[in-house]
Amino acid sequence: MEKYEDNFESFLENFKNTVSKLGYKNSIQKDYILKILYFNDDHLSAEQIVAIAKTNYKVDMGIATVYRTVKFFEELNIVNSLDVGDGVKRYELNLSLHHDHMICTLCNKIIEFHDDVIEEQQKKVAKNSNFILKDHIMTIYGLCKDCQ
Amino acid sequence: MEKYEDNFESFLENFKNTVSKLGYKNSIQKDYILKILYFNDDHLSAEQIVAIAKTNYKVDMGIATVYRTVKFFEELNIVNSLDVGDGVKRYELNLSLHHDHMICTLCNKIIEFHDDVIEEQQKKVAKNSNFILKDHIMTIYGLCKDCQ
DNA sequence: TTTTATGCAAACATTTTGCAGTCAC
DNA sequence: GTGACTGCAAAATGTTTGCATAAAA
């Protein structure tokens, strides 16, 4: 717990420096959105971020700010957005190596995974089609352990 | 060309029988939406389907009808919807074996592909997580041959 | 003639935008 | 003090729904 706190603090410091260097301004909203994404390994919607800010941190935040901020984060490549298929975008911090998702069609739980074989094969497939791979998403739908 | 016509005609006949058997009613709207999806290997949005109906077939169709019809088709498993990430759902006929998509981030072209290695590996990954795989989507983003 | 399908418009949900005021630097 | 950021409300976007009419069986 303490360890994560520490990690987050340095991550936040680093991020704030980047923001300043780019000529943008820091704000408590940016801080809290990062904090919320950092300490919730869920994949959160804009509305959920507002709700968590309010209940867990007693911070009121306009939803427009959340949308603008996560878009800003996406451009800086520290946040990914993902489309579960229900018409609501969810956001996750882009800290670790690339990963994909398994989504339970019953309880909507999102499980992250990474597989090198698939990653490699994707590169081959792209190459075979003369396609320059920049990114990919892969989502497996099914039943999680608990819902079977 | 003639061959495809023939194929489509028998496909359509077959579909119409299914609709009748299930107690639903056939309509020219259903026919045209199928026809449009069949003869356009693009992945069409509801709005595009309405536009093509109007310009290519001189058929006016309400967009609500298109949404209802593609949902109906999805339930019968003859149409898949896909989320390119721009907030607009696109629809494709589900005729062939499973395939995935490469999307060019410049010209938005959609290229279909199928790869057995990836399919197999997905099964393994799911199994390792005690996850019962039902479906998956995989989309590769990058630059197509023409846009490089 | 009964039931489903259609088209329109209104409703809806999510996301974006304009603007006036606020805050960071 | 300047320029970016915020929050609100309005607008925009994509999709769904209610209802009266039309068409299929």
pLDDT in tens, A110-147: 888 999 999 999 999 999 999 999 888 899 988 888 88
Residue A66 lies in a domain: yes
Contacts of B138 in chain A (CB under 8 A): 122, 136-139
Q: Binding site for Fe cation: residue ranges of A?
A: 98, 100, 119, 136
Residue A121 lies in a domain: yes
Residue B148 lies in a domain: no
Are residue B61 and residue B110 in the same domain, yes or no? no
CA dist B81 and A86 (Å) reads 12
Are residue A71 and residue A104 in the same domain, yes or no? no
Are residue B84 and residue B108 in the same domain, yes or no? no
Residue A22 lies in a domain: yes
Q: What pTM was estimated for this model as a whole?
A: 0.82
A84 touches strand C (CB under 7 A): no
Domain that holds residue B66: 5-93
| pLDDT score of A83 more than 90 | no
Are residue A135 and residue A67 in the same domain, yes or no? no
**Domain count within chain B:** 2
Residue A148 lies in a domain: no
Are residue A87 and residue A104 in the same domain, yes or no? no
The radius of gyration computed from the CA coordinates of chain A, to the nearest angstrom, equals 17
CA dist B62 and B42 (Å) reads 21
| pLDDT score of B137 more than 90 | no
Which bases on strand D have an atom closer than 7 Å to a protein beta carbon? 3-10, 13-18, 23-25
Which bases on strand C have an atom closer than 7 Å to a protein beta carbon? 3-10, 13-18, 23-25
Q: What is the pLDDT of residue B6?
A: 56
| pLDDT score of B1 more than 60 | no
Are residue B67 and residue B34 in the same domain, yes or no? yes
Are residue A51 and residue A120 in the same domain, yes or no? no
Express as a percent the part of chain B with pLDDT over 90: 63
Per residue in B75-121, pLDDT (tens digit) is 999 999 988 778 899 999 988 678 899 988 877 788 889 999 999 99
Q: Can you state the percent helix, strand and coil of chain A, rounding each to 5?
A: 50, 20, 30
CATH number of the domain at B110, please: 3.30.1490.190
Strand partners, A44: A91
Residue A118 lies in a domain: yes
Are residue A64 and residue A132 in the same domain, yes or no? no
Residue B147 lies in a domain: no
